[in-house]
Structure 1
Amino acid sequence: MKIPTLTHLRGYVVILISKGNLESFINALTQSGIHVWDVNPSGMNTAEMKVLIKDFHDLRPLLKRTGCRVHVKKRVGIPFQMAKLEQRKFFAVGMITFVLLLFLFSSLVWDVKVEGNVTIASEDILEAAQKEGIYPFQWTFRLKHLDKLSKELNMKLPGTSWVGVDKKGTSITIHIVEASEPEPKPLVSPRHLISKSDAVITEIYAEQGKPLVAKNIRVKKGQILISGLLGDEENSQAVVAKGEVKGLVWHEYNIQVPIVQKHKVYTGESRNRNYLVLGNWGIQFWGYGKVPYEKYDIVEEQDPLTWRSLKLSVGWMTEKIMETEITSETISSEKAKKLGFEGAIRDILAKYGNDSKVISQKILHEKKENGKVYMKVLFEVEEKITEERTIVYDQGE
Structure 2
Amino acid sequence: MLIFRLWNYIRGYVIIFVEGYFLEKFVNICTRRQILLWDIQRDRNSKMTLKVSIRGFKMLKPVAKKTGCRVKILEKRGLPFLLNRYRHRKTFLLGAAVFVVLFYIMTSFVWSVEVVGNKKIETDGILKCLEKYGVKPGVLKYRINPEEVANGVILDIDGLSYVNVLVRGTKVKVEVAEGVKRPSIIPLNVPCDIVAKKDGVIKSVIVKIGQAQVKEGDTVKKGQLLVSGSIPIKGAEDNPKRVHAMAEVLARTWYEGRQPVELKAVEKIRTGRKKDNVTLVLFSKKINLFHKEIDFKDFEKVEIKKNLSIGEEFVLPFGLVIERYYENDLVEADISLEDAKENAAGIAYRKAAENIPEGATIVDKRVNFIENENGEIIADVIIECLEDIGVAKENGGE
TM-score w.r.t. the length of structure 2 is 0.48
TM-score w.r.t. the length of structure 1 is 0.48
Larger radius of gyration: 1
